[in-house]
Structure 1
Amino acid sequence: MAKKIIFISFDYDNDAAYKNLLLAWDKNKEFDFELYNGSLKEAINSTNAPYIKSKIKPLILKASHLLCIVGKQSASSAWINWEIQTAVEAKKKLIGV
């Protein structure tokens, strides 16, 4: 079976601890997947947003799945919305946790 590549979408300010748990899980060689470990501290409407999107989009396109950590603030995150929409447009499998 091909290795699954998981892009994690999460709210940095509120859900980083959960992302770190997934990264620890990824260290276990019994599991056959790979996680992208990066985070955004920029607003989606910042002047850096186009540059950041140009770096993140290829990572989402490379992934086989987008895993969204659904926390209290996730629905109000423009970045999470953009990442999910990008994954949907690319027909990636979505996982909500």
Structure 2
Amino acid sequence: MAYRNKVYVCVEYDSDNRYYNTLKMWDKNDKFDFKFHNAHDLNTIMQFSNEETIKKRLRERLLNTKLMIALIGERTKYHHKYVGWEIKQAQKLDIPIVVVNINKRNRMDSDLCPASLKGQNALHIPFMKEAFLLAMENWYDFYHKTAKYSGGNDYYWEQFD
């Protein structure tokens, strides 16, 4: 098994890629204390690749993943081909999931959250650098010590209310 130290960002790329690019910008900016090992840096997927090849590459990335960040926007819950598949794979692999609401809501957003993430022991946070930092520093350990045994809850950080 691969050493899991990467952060996998699950995003509906057509409409929400600017938020993914913001994460990469924060990572590259020396003025921000925001660093992550991006799972998407592991291998290349060509835009003309077939679905089977794409999913094979995504699974390779997930096998190196310690934490999934699921960016949730207006259209995310309608994208099952890859976004839904990525979420299900992360759940099968017992990868802790941080649900990041692009609309900056600090709890599970029942209107936008994909059904596969509701009541699934995921952390729901607003799209804020401080919330990301707290989640990346603490969610993995909390999930493996407590959350995954809780029977299906939606978690959030109270300080971002």
Tell me the TM-score normalized by structure 2. 0.50
For residues 47 and 14 of structure 2, what CA distance do their matches in structure 1 show? Answer: 9
Query: In the alignment, does 2:29 pair up with 1:31?
Result: no
Provide the identity percentage. Answer: 24
What's 2:83 paired with? 80
Name stretches of at least 5 consecutive residues in structure 1 with no aligned partner: none
Which runs of no fewer than 5 residues in structure 2 stay unpaired?
101-161
Partners of 2:39 and 2:62 within 8 A in 1: no
**Residue pair 2:67, 2:95 contacting (<8 A) in 1 also:** yes
Q: Deviations over 1:26-79 (max 9, x none)?
A: 22463342123478867xxxx811111111101011010111100011001111
RMSD: 2.5
Query: What is the CA deviation profile of residues 71-96 of structure 1, one whole-angstrom value per residue up to 9, with x for unaligned ones?
Result: 01100111110000000000001011
Larger RCO, structure (CA 8 Å, separation 6 or more): 1
| Structure 1 residue ranges, 4+ long, deviating more than 2 angstroms after superposition | 28-33, 36-42
SS of structure 1 residue aligned to 2:63: helix
Q: Equivalent residues in 2 for 1:57-76 (5 A)?
A: 57-76=59-78
Letter in 1 for 2:90: A
Q: 2:19 aligns to what?
A: 18
How many equivalent residue pairs?
91
